[in-house]
Amino acid sequence: MLERLNQALEHLESRLDREIDMAEVARIAAVSEYHFRRLLSALAGMPLAVYVRRRRMTLAGAEVLAGELTLLDVAVRYGYGSGEAFARAFRSVHGIGPGEARRTGAVLTAQPRMSFRVVVEGSTAMRYRIVEKESFRVVGRKARVPLVHEGPNAAATAHVESLDEQAVVRMKALAGQEPEGIFSAVVHLSDSREEGAEVDYWVGVATAPETAAEELDALDVPAGTWAVFDNRGPYPSSLQELWRDVFTQWFPSNPYASRPGPEFLRTQPVEIGAETDSQLWIPVERGGGGSAD
């Protein structure tokens, strides 16, 4: 599968000077477009569209400095119909307009090309199991929070601390399915996994589909498959590293692809940096490939 993913990246790279059909790129990778976007987002730490723009502006920056083409010719080569639109995109990446960059020979920013590879680090193994679940309901409390890739998420912490004792007691009484006990759930509102992108963040329990939420919020979850990863390490860094490794190492080497759906995390509240046992649930489907070619 790694070979196919790298072939898809090569194809994407060859289309930077024209319109890119992302469905075709995903077909070369033999995964869904949704899964391909998530893999690239996890690997790059930015949405796929941002990566493509930065790669285009990296190539365009070299041509601006070379001075062999007019600025308008460079703009057209990389898909911009006007000098103004090109200048905005150029400035968003390099922090300087193309005209000024050419006049002053400015230092520009380069976005490296991405590639997938197998990484072997010591003897660490990822422990996981596959769980098939019928439809169920999450009942609890939700809030909209930004994604944080490293370090504590202050908004998520504030939401947890805002829960009143009555709500916690009610949730514990309703809990009866996996994931067991009170857990958090993240529902992504878009394809973006960029730092700061907003998500719905739930604190709740898994119950039967017909369970009355009463004073609590309810999230109905369709039947599906989850990959469940067990983890132990310092909180929250080990969990953030696990999420990254799932998308950049586990998926490319296993016959599964990510699918839309809530991600669940079950962990015990601990002080920042303290060791804790955790469990991460990622929604998956068969069809990711499964060979580290």
- What is the tens place of the pLDDT at every residue in 69-116? 999 999 999 989 889 999 999 999 999 999 999 999 888 988 888 877
| CA nearest neighbour of 25 among 42, 3, 5 | 5
pLDDT at 122 over 50: no
Q: Mean pLDDT highest for which of 49-63, 137-151, 226-240, 256-270?
A: 49-63
CATH number of the domain bearing residue 12: 1.10.10.60
Whether 56 is covered by a domain: the verdict is yes
Confidence (pLDDT) at 49: 86
Whether 151 is covered by a domain: the verdict is yes
- What is the tens place of the pLDDT at every residue in 242-259? 888 888 778 877 888 889
pLDDT classification of 272: cutoffs 50, 70, 90 = confident
Confidence (pLDDT) at 119: 53
Range 284-293 average pLDDT: 64
Whether 166 is covered by a domain: the verdict is yes
Whether 116 is covered by a domain: the verdict is no
Query: For the chain, where are the E strands, in sequence order?
Result: 127-133, 136-146, 183-188, 198-207, 217-221, 224-234, 256-258, 263-267, 275-286
| 135, 186, 43, 77: CA torsion to nearest 10 | 100
* Residue bearing tokens 């009610």: 170
Please identify, among 38, 72, 104, the residue that sits at the C-terminal boundary of a domain.
104
State if pTM tops 0.85: no
pLDDT at 291 over 50: no
Residues 81 and 186 in one domain: no
Residues 184 and 281 in one domain: yes
- What is the tens place of the pLDDT at every residue in 213-228? 878 999 999 999 999 9
Which residues form the domain of 36?
A: 2-104
Any idea what DSSP says for residue 253?
Answer: G
pLDDT classification of 5: cutoffs 50, 70, 90 = confident
Q: Which two structure tokens, joined as six digits, stand for 121?
A: 């680090």
Mean pLDDT (the chain, rounded): 86
Which value, in Å, is the radius of gyration of the alpha carbons in the chain?
22
Secondary structure string (H, E, C) spanning 149-162 = CCCCCHHHHHHHHC
**Which residues are within 8 A (CB) of 232 and not within 5 positions of it... i.e. 6 or more apart?**
238, 275, 276, 277, 278
Residues 42 and 133 in one domain: no
Number of domains in the chain: 2
Geometric angle at alpha carbon 248, from 242 and 254, rounded to 5°:
95
Confidence (pLDDT) at 118: 57
Confidence (pLDDT) at 88: 93
- Please give the Cα distance from 132 to 152 (Å, whole number): 31
Whether 229 is covered by a domain: the verdict is yes
Please identify, among 55, 70, 104, the residue that sits at the C-terminal boundary of a domain.
104
Confidence (pLDDT) at 18: 85
Whether 293 is covered by a domain: the verdict is no
Confidence (pLDDT) at 250: 85
User: Which residues lie across from 152 on neighbouring strands?
Assistant: none
* Helices 22-29 and 2-14: angle between axes, nearest 10 degrees: 150
